Chains A and B, each alone.
Chain A
């Protein structure tokens, strides 16, 4: 599983919000096809790290590399093109668009036809639109959303909305998929189903996954390695077994 093929490198990453140090000197390496968990108490800075990796925030200091290329100052949509996709902790779907359209939006960068091709409906338009269509259907099928494809995203039940977030992220054809609390608000049955789905996704789409999750059973059951964050600082990293017995981690979670 673990190879020397590094996908993402985060070096000494820090960010401050008006004096508040949300993340301090954070280091991380993610290898290809790994499934890495990022855990920590509320407010530890996990989502902030996602925002830094996806370029929504600019770090105060530090570096981010994707496949050996420095992307610290690359804007968000270009990072998506380079292969980083994400979901949001507080669901951010395109509510008034259909499930299928939600997925197709993210397929945008895999198409190249221009304005005139769209107005005159050239052959290129149809070829690429069809490819997008098939790909979107394929992704929806894997996530069990195919039957909802023509529903408006806002009409989906909560658990399905979370899955649609993952489907949309997959449509951009990512190397690295960042999932921010994908099981939040799901019941135990749905959570178990989601674990299965994530494994299938990783296999089928050959994607490296970084995920934030509170559900310990979920994290311990599915992750290859885990990073633990507290007050913006890395306090431990290792396999699920190592983390479960780590004193620092237990202290952070149970309080002193």
Chain B
């Protein structure tokens, strides 16, 4: 008895600063490596997309994988975030220009030089601000939809409603064309507020997303959300306010989908609604199903893999075959390994240590895998 109690005491939870430092260093390393890789012209297009779709797929995974509700219109939330972010950055750009009577070439010196792709400090700040506003706005939309729908619907019904919501967003964006006189990127922008292939910004947002999700899911919030996936009735009977946490997860998911959309706009200066239609929503689902519903690291690896492959395919194969490939992948995964590459497991340091039976060797990490995959 005494021995047991003592072992309990040794089991005291405390912050693992060494691990934090290690993760921090790795994050910096990843950003640096990705940025260096981005010098290559084709990787310059692929890597930011991998990062953006990773954020989108992770945000889908917290609803589909962790909460256990299927969402079929996630692309629609990306579109909302993209539109709002594009509006905000263009509007501020225009206001700065008009207030100060700057010429276009002066603006280029302050913000972005589209000619040589240079981005100045003010340009970064503007994009970061716009993207965050877009994310928050999408979060509000997600929250309102969640409040209206989540208490009443679940399972197939909820999936179909989210499908409808995605369609509605795409349709509105298609028909609106301008907000307040601005083209918001469906046919290209009114002003270029673009950071293109500036990988460090994109990568930093991905790392922030990961930190948020990992920390939240390793707390009482995460346990509550996972318990809802496992058994809603038992969760409620254990004192978890199920509806509140469903809305919370839905909102969190919308925020980061909106973030991904905003980043995409400022990467491409283009939000063609076909980019965020059902095809995109399905693509994101394929990413998370292949990676493992509920696995963040699995999502990162499968997103990198599939984005890379589909990019190469798009260049070499006639358009339209992409979805065929995804369909086939989905069928094969379901037949061979329905839980996906990782299931609900994560690729963690402890896991890596176990696999390689190495005591201390801070070398491999998830996102480095992505780079390897890219080669």
A105 to B239, CA, bound (A): 8
A88 to B236, CA, bound (A): 13
A113 to B236, CA, bound (A): 20
Could you say which residues of chain A place their CB within 8 Å of the CB of B223? 97, 101, 104-105, 108
B357 at the interface (CB under 8 A from A): no
The count of chain A contact residues (Cβ–Cβ below 8 Å) is 45
Within 8 A of A (CB), among B212-230: 212, 215-216, 218-221, 223-224, 226-227, 229-230
For A80, give its contact among B15, B233, B238 (CB under 8 Å). B238
**Known interface pairs A92-B231, A118-B220; A86-B11 also in contact (CB < 8 Å):** no
Chain B minimum-CB-distance residue to A128: B220
Min CB distance A126 to B, Å, is 7
A121 at the interface (CB under 8 A from B): yes
A81 to B240, CA, bound (A): 9
A65 at the interface (CB under 8 A from B): no
A109 at the interface (CB under 8 A from B): yes
Could you say which residues of chain A place their CB within 8 Å of the CB of B235? 94, 105
The SS class assigned to the A binding surface is helix
B363 at the interface (CB under 8 A from A): no
B224-263 vs A, Cβ < 8 Å mask (1 yes, 0 no): 1011011101111111111000000000000000000000
B12 at the interface (CB under 8 A from A): yes
**A105 contacts B8, C-beta separation under 8 Å:** no
**A133 contacts B216, C-beta separation under 8 Å:** no
B14 at the interface (CB under 8 A from A): yes
**A80 contacts B234, C-beta separation under 8 Å:** no
Could you say which residues of chain B place their CB within 8 Å of the CB of A169? 238
Within 8 A of B (CB), among A80-131: 80-81, 85-86, 88, 92-97, 101, 104-109, 111, 113, 115, 118-121, 125-126, 128-130
**A97 contacts B226, C-beta separation under 8 Å:** yes
**Known interface pairs A76-B237, A77-B236, A92-B234; A118-B4 also in contact (CB < 8 Å):** no
A146 to B224, CA, bound (A): 22
**B216 contacts A119, C-beta separation under 8 Å:** yes
**B215 contacts A109, C-beta separation under 8 Å:** no
Band of interface residues on B: 20 to 34
A168 at the interface (CB under 8 A from B): yes
Could you say which residues of chain A place their CB within 8 Å of the CB of B12? 130, 133
Min CB distance B65 to A, Å, is 11
Could you say which residues of chain A place their CB within 8 Å of the CB of B14? 126
**A77 contacts B241, C-beta separation under 8 Å:** yes
**A118 contacts B13, C-beta separation under 8 Å:** no
For A118, give its contact among B221, B241, B344 (CB under 8 Å). B221
A101 to B240, CA, bound (A): 14
B327-362 vs A, Cβ < 8 Å mask (1 yes, 0 no): 000000000000000001000000000000000000
Min CB distance A92 to B, Å, is 4
Could you say which residues of chain B place their CB within 8 Å of the CB of A121? 15, 215
**Known interface pairs A80-B239, A106-B238; A97-B8 also in contact (CB < 8 Å):** no
**A77 contacts B239, C-beta separation under 8 Å:** yes
**A172 contacts B238, C-beta separation under 8 Å:** yes
B55-96 vs A, Cβ < 8 Å mask (1 yes, 0 no): 000000000000000000000000000000000000000000
**Known interface pairs A101-B223, A104-B223; A94-B11 also in contact (CB < 8 Å):** no
A208 at the interface (CB under 8 A from B): no
**A77 contacts B216, C-beta separation under 8 Å:** no
Chain B minimum-CB-distance residue to A168: B238
**B8 contacts A172, C-beta separation under 8 Å:** no
**A119 contacts B226, C-beta separation under 8 Å:** no
B32 at the interface (CB under 8 A from A): no
B36 at the interface (CB under 8 A from A): no
**Known interface pairs A77-B242, A108-B239; A118-B15 also in contact (CB < 8 Å):** no
Q: Which of A2-10, A15-23, A134-142 forms part of the interface with chain B?
A: A134-142
A111 to B212, CA, bound (A): 20
**A137 contacts B238, C-beta separation under 8 Å:** no
**A96 contacts B344, C-beta separation under 8 Å:** yes
**A111 contacts B211, C-beta separation under 8 Å:** no
Min CB distance A132 to B, Å, is 8
Within 8 A of A (CB), among B140-199: none
**B230 contacts A108, C-beta separation under 8 Å:** no
**A88 contacts B239, C-beta separation under 8 Å:** no
Could you say which residues of chain A place their CB within 8 Å of the CB of B227? 94, 97, 105
**Known interface pairs A94-B227, A97-B226, A97-B230; A115-B238 also in contact (CB < 8 Å):** no
For A108, give its contact among B211, B233, B238 (CB under 8 Å). B238
A138 to B15, CA, bound (A): 22
A56 at the interface (CB under 8 A from B): yes
Could you say which residues of chain A place their CB within 8 Å of the CB of B237? 54, 56, 76-77, 80, 85-86, 88, 92
**Known interface pairs A113-B220, A126-B15, A138-B8; A56-B239 also in contact (CB < 8 Å):** no
A96 to B226, CA, bound (A): 9
For A105, give its contact among B13, B211, B224 (CB under 8 Å). B224
**B215 contacts A118, C-beta separation under 8 Å:** yes
Closest 7 CB pairs of A and B: A118-B219, A80-B239, A94-B230, A92-B234, A106-B238, A105-B227, A119-B215
24 pairs, CB–CB < 8 Å, chain A vs chain B: A77-B237, A77-B242, A81-B239, A86-B237, A88-B233, A92-B233, A93-B231, A93-B234, A94-B226, A96-B226, A96-B344, A105-B224, A105-B227, A108-B223, A109-B239, A111-B220, A118-B215, A119-B215, A120-B215, A121-B215, A126-B14, A129-B13, A133-B11, A133-B13
Binding site for B on A (CB under 8 A): 54, 56, 76-77, 80-81, 85-86, 88, 92-97, 101, 104-109, 111, 113, 115, 118-121, 125-126, 128-130, 132-134, 137-138, 141, 146, 168-169, 171-172
